[in-house]
Amino acid sequence: MKYVAIIPARYASTRFPAKPLALLNGKPIIQRVYERVAEQLEEVYVATDDDRIFSAVEQFGGKAIMTSTSHRSGTDRCREAYELSGSQADVIINVQGDEPFIQASQLEAIRRPFEEDAATDIATLVMPFPADTPFETLANPNSPKVVVSHNHRALYFSRSVIPYLRGIEQEQWAANHVFYKHIGLYAYTAEALKRITQMPVSSLEQAESLEQLRWLQAGLDIRVGYTHAETIGIDTPEDLARAEEWLKSHTDK
């Protein structure tokens, strides 16, 4: 099984403009993501729609692909980049460009479903919430939750807390059930990627603003891999400041 990692990176961002080029301990965020992924995979590309990001990637020795400015999601950008790259990989891994601390174990976990079941079309990662998680954290709509079947398929994704625990005080929910947080790392076969990018937006996707619900609603299976590695995604300048502090206490990173 051959894999290619594609890292979508946009310059425009409402909460953090020019985020991929922001410096994290002296290196652009996009460089840190690229280098960590390249430690695990031979074929890695940044997919961008901006000349500044394209140039920055080439300057640090990475590979970049210029894509359209009209894509509605990173998934769509991944498909174009994969087709332009000429890659012969069987599986495309979509790595978020704001995850400079992505772990080797996470990249291994996203590949495992394809190695265990050749019929896997799409895979993503989940992480259990600790049993002492406060309900306020569990209920954060910016942290989507997932319910998973016994055969490791995603049954549903939601910004709400799922499942609802009837008859139990909310502050005790995490101690009485294993809730899973969705980690936004995806992998798809080339055929699955082509198919999902041709689908119209679905009603569930519109309701929750989660594109993976479009795929579930269309009847596709999404296999899940499991991770216990906590990373720091960078969505805002405040997140960047926290990441800088984290690096100071992890000098080997």
Helix, strand and coil in the chain, % to nearest 5: 35, 20, 45
φ and ψ at residue 185, rounded to 5 degrees: -115, 125
pLDDT > 90 fraction of the chain, expressed in percent and rounded = 86
94-150 pLDDT per residue, tens = 999 999 999 999 999 999 999 999 889 999 999 999 999 999 999 999 899 999 999
Q: How big is the CA angle at 114 (ends 111 and 116), to the nearest 5 degrees?
A: 105
The residue-averaged pLDDT of 39-51 equals: 97
pTM greater than 0.85: yes
What does the mean pLDDT of the chain come to?
Answer: 94
Residue 160 three-state SS:
coil
Centroid of chain to Cα 227: 13
Burial 73-94 (b: 16+ CB within 10 A, else e): ebbbbbbbbbeebebebebbbb
In one-letter notation, the amino acid at residue 243 is: A
pLDDT for res 157 = 98
What are the pLDDT digits (tens) for 163-195? 999 999 999 999 999 999 999 999 999 999 999
Q: Measuring CA to CA, which residue among 97, 85, 75, 96 is closest to residue 42? A: 85
Residue keyed to tokens 């990018």: 197
Q: What is the model's pLDDT at position 15?
A: 80
**Any idea of the CA torsion for 87, 91, 92, 96, to the nearest 10 degrees?**
-150
Return the SS3 of 148. strand
Rounded CA separation 211/193 (Å): 13
- Compute CA distances 86 → 79, 178, 191, whole Å: 11, 42, 15
What domains, with CATH codes, occur in the chain? 3-248 (3.90.550.10)
- pLDDT of 253 above 50: no
pLDDT of 247 over the 90 cut: no
Produce one character per residue of 157-170: b if its CB has 16 or more CB atoms within 10 Å, e if not. Answer: bbbebeeeeeeeee
